[in-house]
Chains A and B, each alone.
Chain A
Amino acid sequence: MSKNDKQKSFLETFPTGKETESVFPGTIHELPGGGIVTSKLDDVINWARSNSLWPLTFATSCCGIEYMAVAGAKYDFSRFGFEVARATPRQADVIIIAGTIVNKMAPVLKRLYDQMADPKYVIAMGACAISGGPFFYNTYSVVKGADHVVPVDVYIPGCPPRPEALLHALIALQQKIKSGMTREQIREGKDIV
């Protein structure tokens, strides 16, 4: 990594560029004037949700191998508590679309998304899932971006992205969940509190 890139701090690399509340919820805040308030139930729930994202074992092509590498020993997303990859959509929280979605697969993806229990999140991993990537112009059978089929929370460019990039996206998703904001609010450019 060149010197120029290093100067970017870790938080600046995130889409929001801000740190959200990452302390353990339920902590006691001292209010001015001596009052004490415990953090809200919402915070507890969002903390739990953000730290327990169970992915669906869903990979269509090349990015699936990097997704496996993230699960592997060197990168190990179990450090964040994501390692409980569920094979059934009913028990999964996040669907990592790792690979191309073609026209025949699109209804299946939609079905899988519908079968998941709320709250559910989607990460589009790699160029194919974001926009069709290498298959954007010259093919007849590729969906030009998974967000035509299901709503996507986080996009990771790359073909395929490095394992660290997927971890980065997972941390970004965590931040989003902790902030409790919807996709629309973020798109409108509201600050993450």
Chain B
Amino acid sequence: MYRETEIIKDAPQFGEPGFGDLVINVGPQHPATHGVLHLIITLNGETIKDIKPNLGYIHRSIEKMCESLTYRQFIYVTSRMDYLSAHINNHACALVVEKGLQVEVPERAQVIRVLFDELTRIASHELWWGAMAMDLGAFTPFFHSFRERETINVIMEETCGARLTMNYYVPGGVMWDLHPDFQKRVKDFITLYKKKIHEYDELVTGNIIFQNRMKGIGYISPEDVISYGCTGPVARGSGVHSDIRKVSPYSIYSKLDFDEVLETGGDSFARYVVRIKEMHQSIKIIEQLIDNIPEGDFQAKTKAVLKLPKGEYYQSVETARGELGVYIVSEGGTTPYRIKFRSPGFSNLSALNHMIKGGKIGDLIAAMGTLDLVIPDIDR
């Protein structure tokens, strides 16, 4: 009766399920997978026995593609990897090219970059909050979070010229100077954010149904976090000190006053709290910088054709999802010889089976929501 669908026949055989087990394919088109993740789940009743992620439905060979693009050009493609932290991806690439060229980035450009990074982080977490609540079956938070997110999008659009994939960072600085209205808009946003943030707690955090769905679900211990290589809020939710902005500070983060958010719960609720508190920390960083943007150049003088000296370069940054590493091998030409991204989503996804095994389908959706997966970031 339960014929296997065609999709699973194409996929590699993962061993025969036991008697009475139900194998279902969640994805590639499924509202909870936030894209095209394909999970092959073995169920016993409602209880999950095994999860096998099947990747590759959005593999666009970005790493291979970057090898044929120049150092100015390849940055824009990386916006399409983790499109929710597009600015931060670009930042990593710009930093690694600057490291190779040994260009000193003007202070104004660095401040602008950090401001946009933190705005991106807030926007990303806003979207995660709405989408995660939607996974849990509450639709209203999604619309309320987009209210704040759209405000950030307007700021982005005014200065960078696009809403999502901006390509604003170039090696040596940023493409244009800030828009004159930038400071005012950001201050307005901070006011709006502070006025509305209590609603997040009223609508979702304090809700008894939400807490029961989240607490104690998807537990992962600090040891497992390290062995799976999870980073970002997933690691910090288990109390693992992993914020790249603190561990190996880049740009001007070492001069800023902010806290690394650590929770010791290790469950879905801890990861939720980490992200909510991170938004507050980002606001704190923005407040420190918004009135102190130094005057000066927004872009360092670079040659028209960039050539990285022969060698290997690595830079990691903290995206909204965790550690993004960019590794470039240069043979001295105008294009990278080899490029490799270490994306946070891939490691975080690998811990999914460990987290959820033995839980219910509802737990899978809730815990996957707190992992905040962006599938193009995993497949690249």
Contacts and interface: CB of A to CB of B under 8 A. Distances in A.
Direct contact of A and B (CB under 8 A): yes
Interface of A: 56-62, 64-66, 68-69, 72-74, 87, 89, 99-100, 102, 104-105, 108, 111-112, 134-135, 137-142, 159-160, 162
B61 A141 contact: yes
B146 A105 contact: no
B57 A104 contact: yes
Given A62-B376, A87-B31, A160-B164, A135 B65 contact: yes
A140 to B, nearest CB: 6
B142 interface: yes
Interface in B59-84: 59-62, 64-65, 68-69, 76-77, 79-80, 83-84
Given A135-B65, A159-B165, A74 B59 contact: no
Given A64-B35, A74-B146, A100-B376, 11 more contacts: A57-B31, A60-B58, A72-B146, A72-B147, A73-B144, A73-B146, A102-B57, A102-B59, A105-B57, A108-B28, A134-B80
A140 B83 CA distance: 21
Nearest to B76: A134
Contacts of A100: 58, 60, 376
A108 B35 contact: no
B7 interface: yes
A60 B165 contact: no
A117 B153 CA distance: 36
Contact of A138 (B56, B69, B83): B69
Q: Interface range on chain B: under 10, 10 to 19, 20 to 34, or 35 or more?
A: 35 or more
B30 A104 contact: no
Interface string B357-377: 000000000000000000110
Given A66-B163, A160-B164, A160-B165, A112 B29 contact: yes
A72 B80 contact: no
Contact of A68 (B7, B57, B146, B376): B146
Interface of B: 6-7, 28-31, 35-36, 56-62, 64-65, 68-69, 76-77, 79-80, 83-84, 127, 131, 142-144, 146-147, 149-150, 153, 163-165, 375-376
A140 B64 contact: yes
Nearest to A105: B57
Contacts of B163: 66, 69, 160, 162
A137 B36 CA distance: 23
A137 B62 CA distance: 12
Contacts of B36: 60, 105, 108
Please give me the 4 A-B residue pairs with the lowest Cβ-Cβ distance, nearest first: A72-B146, A62-B83, A138-B65, A139-B61
B345 to A, nearest CB: 13
A108 B164 contact: no
A72 B60 contact: no
B61 A108 contact: no
A141 B35 contact: no
A142 B59 CA distance: 8
Contacts of A69: 146, 149-150, 153, 163
B147 A73 contact: yes
Given A73-B143, A74-B146, A74-B147, A141 B59 contact: yes
A65 B127 contact: yes
Nearest to B82: A62
7 contacts: A57-B29, A61-B35, A74-B150, A104-B57, A135-B60, A138-B65, A159-B165
B37 to A, nearest CB: 11
A108 B29 CA distance: 8
A87 B59 contact: no
B56 to A, nearest CB: 5
Most buried by B among A68, A89, A162: A68
A165 to B, nearest CB: 11
Contacts of B150: 69, 72-74
A23 B142 CA distance: 34
Contact of A61 (B31, B83, B146): B83
Nearest to A162: B163
B68 A138 contact: yes
Contacts of A162: 163
B35 A104 contact: no
A59 to B, nearest CB: 6
A155 to B, nearest CB: 19
Contact of A65 (B7, B61, B83): B83
A134 B80 CA distance: 9
B84 A65 contact: yes
Contacts of A142: 60-61
A112 B25 CA distance: 14
Contacts of B146: 68-69, 72-74
Contacts of A68: 127, 131, 142, 146
B60 A139 contact: yes
Contacts of B31: 57, 87
